[in-house]
Every structure is written in structure tokens, then in C-alpha cells.
Amino acid sequence: YSIYTIKERVKEYYFLFLLLQMGMIGVFVSLDFIFFYVFWEIGLVPMYLLIGVWGGERRIYAAIKFFLYTLAGSVAMLLAIIGVYLNTGTFSILDAAAAQPFAGNFVLAAAAFWALFVAFSIKVPSFPFHTWLPDAHTEAPTCGSVILAGILLKLGAYGLIRIVLPLFPRVFSYYVYNVPIIPVLAVVSIVYGALVCMAQWDLKRLIAYSSVSHMGYVTLGISAAVASLAMSGHSGELMTSAAIALNGAALQMFTHGIITGGLFFLVGIIYERAHTRDLKSFGGLGAKVPYYYGIMMVTGFASLGLPGLAGFWSEFFVFRGTFAIIPVFACIGVAGVVFTAAYILWKIVQYVFLGEFDQAKWDEATHHAKLTDMELFEKVTMWPLVIVMVLVGFYPTVVVALLNGATTALLGKL
């Protein structure tokens, strides 16, 4: 896609993308805190430059805001890593988890836990650490937004599951079950993110806030799995529900990346033609660009969790597991599904595609831009994502089978 849309500083653009990918892959494969932290930081600078150089009109503000938020989280993470090393004498993630740092000192364990939790929650992002995301997404180039939504946000959720949960399971469960701060943040992210979407008129900013809502399901699923650790009588049914919730959280990470990445591609496609993302400038596009309309409908309905598409199963697993463990938060979280349907159907379907096409309004808003349907390279970009949405929607076992072994093994060790 970038071959056809990036015309300036092309070599630097691709170099930064490769560097960003190296950092992200390094985070996912690291078993050492030092390597984990180094690769985590490697991913910061390329994204900052991608936003700051190839972004929109307010790219400098968005890039600096992204940098400062992420840097603050990185400092907190570094302090926690140093504390864990001083207590356990190792930088190995597996050995540190086995040693259970600060096991005899709840205050120090809680301090290290919150330092790591905040660092990863900024990246997720979870309320109230989310405010950098709408600006970064809105100003980033299209492919930057796709990578940001598809992979970068998942680094935070991965850190919660891979590092925070094994290191501090008791502290984590305390702040989920005894003092339920974390599930409160999760459901606030879900509901608040969806409600704010309904107030947006910039299509890209709307999709950005939808990420806050959808990543809240990930935090909710993790919270349900962790809450099971604090409940008396670890019955088989309880542990099954915990595994389902954690599988749902992991599946939501995957499906959100596919679906929201696709939505950002689609926003970029219409922006290349109209040079505006103002929803008030559109209307009646369904008759003018039917192929684009169809792809947007599949992707949008996958985002709201329509059965038969990928978004349904991840949310279903999260709610199925959460209802059995922390039902109050599950009930609140369901409201997010209702609000998601509202902004998808109202803001996107109605304002962009339905009604009569007003040529005069289009010409005034877009300065007489030519409206054409999707080009071949745009179709080639979107079809793999659409195929995955449908495939996982009808046969989620393709992905769940890969996740279940890891999630059950993790819960079994806690």
C-alpha cells in the first residue's frame, strides 16, 4: 500500500518500518528483561518519526505526545525491572517469575506491580492513559496507524500477560478481586471509548477511540482470569472460565489487530480521494463506491461483533469467562457492545454511505476531488484481512487452538 501512497523520503520511511518491526518482534521473543526493555525502546523512536515526518497537519504535537507518554511508561518499567533484579538477582523473566519478587513485602511488590502495570497500560492504552492514542492515530500515515493498531498496542497487553501476571499474581489478583481497580478501568475503557466514538466527526479519530473500547475487552478478560486466583475453591469450572476469559483476551488482541487495521486502511483509501475525513462531508457513497461499501460493511460489522465474523468470538469468550467470575463487570462491559453498534451503524453506515449523494456538497468539501471505487492494489491490501475475519468468524479454532495451550499452562503455574 505504501508503494502507491508514500512519495517523499521513501528510503527513510521503509528503514523506519523495518526498524519498528525489529523492535516489535524482539519484544515478543525476549526472555530477558534487558533485551525486552531494549527492544521496547527500539519501537519508540521509529513510530515517533513516522508520525512526525509523514503525519498530518498536527503531526508534531501528536508525535511529541506519543513520545512523552511512552517514555514515561518506559521509565516506570525500567525502575520496576531494576527493583526485580535487586530482589531476585536475575534478569531472566522466567527465573524472576519463579522467584516471585518481593513475596514477603506487599508494599514493594505493589509498587513494582503498579510501575509495570502503568507502563503497559499506556501502550494498551487503558483509561486514563489513553489520550495520546487518538492524536497519534489521527496524524499518523495510514500504514503507521495500521501497525500502531495491529501490533504496537498489543505489546502492552502482551506485557500484562507475559510479565506482570507471572511476576505478581497475588498483587494482581488483589487489585482485581479485593480492591477492583483494574476491572473498573477495563469497563470504563470499554464504555467511555464507545461513547466518545459517538461524539467524533473525524472518521479516523472515531476508529482510534474504538481501539480504546475494544482493548478494554482485553483488560477485562485478563482481569477475570486473574480474579479466579483470589477466589476460594479453585474448582474445575472456575479454572475453565478463567481459561476461557484469558483465551478471549488473547483472541481479542488478534482480531482487533486484523479488524481495526482494516478499518484504518479503509479510512486511508477514502482520504486519498476526498482529502477530508469529516463525516459531514460524506453521504450517499454506497451507490458511488459499492465495492468499498461492501468491504467497509464486512469490516465494520466484524468490529461490532456480528456473529460469523472474527470480532464475535473474542468478545463472546471474554464475556463467557467474565460472567462466571466477576459478573457485575461483565454486565457493564456488555453496554460497550450496544454503543459500538450505535456508532458503527449511525456514524459510519448512515453518515458515509446511506442517503442521496450530494455532488455539490462533495465538490465543496473535497475541492472537486474525483470519486472512484477501490483500485486493484487497495483490494489486494484488504482481501487477506477480510478472509481472516470471515475464516476466524466461522472457525475460531484455527486461532484458539494455538492460544489455549499457552493460556492454560500459564494459569496452571500461578
DSSP string, 226-288: HHHHHSSS--HHHHHHHHHHHHHHHHHHHHHHHHHHHHHHHHHHHHHHHS--BGGG---HHHH
Segment (H or E) for 369: none
Same domain, 190 and 268: yes
Q: Which domain holds residue 410?
A: 180-414
Number of domains in the chain: 2
Same domain, 185 and 169: no
Same domain, 187 and 172: no
pLDDT digits (tens, 9 = 90+) for 148-171: 888 888 899 999 999 999 999 999
User: What is d(CA 404, CA 414) in angstroms, rounded to the nearest whole number?
Assistant: 16
Same domain, 171 and 186: no
What's the average model confidence in pLDDT over 76-85? 94
Please say if the pLDDT value at position 414 is more than 90: no
Same domain, 218 and 82: no
pLDDT digits (tens, 9 = 90+) for 290-322: 899 999 999 999 998 889 999 899 999 999 999
C-alpha 80: how far from chain center: 24
SS3 category, 190: helix
Q: State which of 141, 158, 176 marks the end of a domain.
A: 176
Calculate ∠ Cα 66-71-73, nearest 5°. 105
Same domain, 236 and 365: yes
Q: What is the pLDDT of residue 286?
A: 85
Q: State which of 108, 142, 176 marks the end of a domain.
A: 176
Same domain, 191 and 164: no
- For cell 483509501, what's the residue? 269
Measuring CA to CA, how many Å separate 194 from each of 136, 151, 159, 207?
18, 21, 24, 10
Radius of gyration (C-alpha) of the chain in whole angstroms: 21
Q: State which of 149, 176, 203 marks the end of a domain.
A: 176
Q: Is residue 233 very low, low, confident or very high in pLDDT (cuts 50, 70, 90)?
A: low
Residue 207 · residue 183 · CB < 8 Å: no
Same domain, 226 and 163: no
**Cross-strand partners of 32:** 92
Supply 72's cell numbers.
514515561
Same domain, 171 and 188: no
- For cell 511476576, what's the residue? 167
Q: What is the pLDDT of residue 186?
A: 93
Same domain, 133 and 246: no
Same domain, 267 and 346: yes
User: What is d(CA 315, CA 220) in angstroms, rounded to the nearest whole number?
Assistant: 10
Report the candidate in 184, 222, 253 with the shortest Cα–Cα distance to residue 411.
222
Same domain, 2 and 112: yes
- DSSP for 134-186 reads HHHHHHS-HHHHHHIIIIIHHHHHHHIIIIIHHH-HHHHHIIIIIS-HHHHHH
pTM for the model = 0.89
User: What is d(CA 414, CA 403) in angstroms, rounded to the nearest whole number?
Assistant: 17
What's the average model confidence in pLDDT over 4-14? 83
